[in-house]
Amino acid sequence: MKKIQVLALLFAASLASTACTDFLEEKPLDFVTPDQVTDVNFIANGALNTLASGSMFRYGPFPNLWDYDSDDATGPSWAFGDVGAGNYQSYWGIDYGWNGPYTLIHRCNFGISRVNAIATEDEAVKKNALGQLYFLRGWAYFMLVRGYGAVPLFEKAVTEGAEPQQPRTPVKDVYAFIIDNLKLAEANLKSTKDAGYEPGRPSKGAASSLLAKVYLTMASGALPGGQVTVMGGKAFQLVDGEKVLLNPQPITHNKAVVAGLEGLNAAEYFKLARDKAQEVMNSGEYYLFPSHAEVWTVGNRNRGEHIWSVQSLSENPDFGNEISLFRRGRLDPTKADQLEGGWIGTSYQWYHNFEEKDQRITDGVLHRWKMWSNTQFHYYPLSDSSVVEGVDSSPAAEAKRTKYGYQPTDVSGLDDGRIARLRKFEAVSKNNITLGDFHFPLLRYPDVLLIFAEADNEVNSGPTAAARDAVNQIRRRNSATEVGSLNQQQFRSFVLEERRRELALEGDRRWDLLRWGIYLPVMNAIDIDENNVIKRRQPKHLLYPIPISEVNSNKLIGGNNPGW
């Protein structure tokens, strides 16, 4: 990514702990006045930089909110005792889920007004800048409506005349506004094939992909009735006082309609999702890398299947992030072969939801490492103990020992042996620093393929050859067995399982459970996971709590979300 520009007039205040009615009144008076800014790219990029900054991704509050509260994420109690255990208001970053998007929305609203007022000879540049702002505004409201339900809707900045106190807008109307913005983004943004497109920036294909995802979210949320089978259940059982970890079991859940989407024509939106995903597939702009490992390299950023990612800078105090440190771990700079961090990962049941040959666990999970406080090698998963100890002498076991370097002296302690660390988070320029440059994926092409497959299955009351092929493109790449003949409910369930396998810890699992109306039964079927993370949930957990500062300052918001 080119040098990140920071628009000072938009970045005047630190908004980490303020209500949106406070920061929407942020006055653009620092250093320059609005009329002095005439570079449309400067304005659009200033809004885009919000993602990588402290408002959202700098210390990871956004991906943490998305990922920790799911059936798959796990780790130590100090990391999961708040949002990971349903104690949202105890989490230091909870207000970022509200303030971050509204910061971005304010900057987009101001930017749209300013760009429209600027006379320029290059209309293509102006259009692309507007498209980027519409795209970001639509994305921000998509984050808000999924997380909080009905929310205040600002179509222009307070500095441009909007009332700072606004009532909630119904969920369907928020979605309508999101769709309008993404259609405007589609009409204005450059394609990745167009001259002058800058890799890493939102593109027409990104807008189309996000629009397909919005349609699918609405369709699945509105569908009345139906069932989904999820691989899950109790994480362990006690035998003579010791935990014995359990493989996931198929549990069928009846879906519920998402609040606010009642009465929406689900069939219509499934068709819209299918057709829009098909457009992206037919564009020829995106493709799957040949192997799982190739997806997660620094050299393959912003190309191939990476449609849109957070752009970060290594060792940069403003635009670096700690995502790799927390989710994969860094090498101790004083002890080059020992690992620090790596506290956040996926569960034993997630790991055992794969075939043993699947690259997403053979190459996508860290199997052997040294811990920061120990010179002894540790291994994962615990189920490989007979392989590690040499008890299993089968050819498959020998192949594992060779591939992973297992030695009989390797150990697997409670603190590390129950966390699958995902190697996708190794994709950083330097692996021995705190502030890395992991480009968090916000849209990947496998997501589009799975959107198409899921929607096409619903449109046709069962999977077509095209739907199966969309899934099998992903499975072939990962050396997994292709999906065969299934009925509608079986294929629906399979696609959701494939989403959790392919998009693990990419901010999707919680939303997938919520939009299908199965979040509560799936979480409650686990109860407590292998690391003693409480997964029990109540209806109040379907939405995040609005920041107390916002509830107190906005007299029109009508109180907090139910139960908070």
Which CATH number goes with the domain that contains 27? 1.25.40.390
pLDDT of residue 176: 99
Same domain, 181 and 36: yes
| Residue that is last in its domain, among 378, 413, 438 | 438
Identify the bridge partners of residue 411 per DSSP, sorted by sequence position. Answer: 378
240 inside domain:
no
Distance CA 235, CA 524 (A): 11
- Is residue 70, in this structure, part of any structural domain at all? yes
Q: How far is CA 232 from the centre of its chain?
A: 21
Q: Give percent of the chain above pLDDT 90.
A: 79
pLDDT of residue 374: 67
Q: Token pair for residue 488?
A: 């509608």
pTM: 0.93
Q: Where are the beta strands (DSSP E) in 275-351?
A: 306-309, 330-332, 335-340, 345-346
Per-residue pLDDT at 46: 84
The confidence score (pLDDT) of residue 545 equals: 98
Residue 178 has pLDDT above 50, yes or no: yes
- pLDDT per residue as tens digits for the range 389-407: 999 999 999 999 999 999 9
Q: Write down the pLDDT at residue 417.
A: 56
What is the pLDDT, as a whole number, of residue 511? Answer: 99
User: Does 143 reside within a domain?
Assistant: yes
How many CA atoms does the CB half-sphere of 152 hold within 13 Å?
30
- Strand, coil or helix: 475: helix
Residues 77-97 have pLDDT tens digits of: 899 999 999 999 999 999 999
536 belongs to a structural domain: no
Residue 563, domain member (yes or no) = no
What confidence tens digit (pLDDT) does each residue in 111-162 have?
999 999 998 768 999 999 999 999 999 999 999 999 999 999 999 988 888 8
More confident residue, 167 or 63: 167
d(CA 113, CA 154): 13
Of 3 and 34, the structure prediction assigns the larger pLDDT to: 34
Rounded Cα distance between 512 and 369, Å, is: 32
Instruction: Tell whether 546 is covered by a domain.
Output: no
| Last residue of one domain, picked from the residues 438, 466, 485 | 438
- List strand residue ranges (DSSP E) for 246-384, in order: 249-254, 306-309, 330-332, 335-340, 345-346, 368-371, 377-379
Q: What would the pLDDT profile of 31-72 be if each residue is shown by its tens digit?
A: 345 665 678 888 888 888 888 776 677 766 778 998 999 999
448 occurs within a structural domain: no
pLDDT for 22:
39
429 within a domain of the structure (yes/no): yes
For residue 301, the SS3 value is coil
Chain center to CA of 277: 18
Query: Which residues make Cβ contacts (< 8 Å) with residue 170, sequence separation at least 6?
Result: 150, 260
Which of 139, 158, 189 delimits the end of a domain? 189
Neighbour tally for 508: CB within 10 Å = 21
Q: How many domains does the chain have?
A: 2
Phi, psi of 528 (to 5 degrees): -135, 135
pLDDT for 63: 86
Q: CA 480 to CA 472: how far, in whole Å?
A: 9
Q: Which two tokens stand for residue 57?
A: 């991704």
Q: What does pLDDT average to over the chain?
A: 91
What pLDDT does residue 54 have?
65
Tell me the average pLDDT across 246-257: 98
Residue range 346-389, pLDDT digits in tens: 999 999 999 999 999 999 999 999 876 667 899 999 999 999 99
The parent domain of residue 428 ranges over 323-438
Six token digits for residue 537: 């949930």
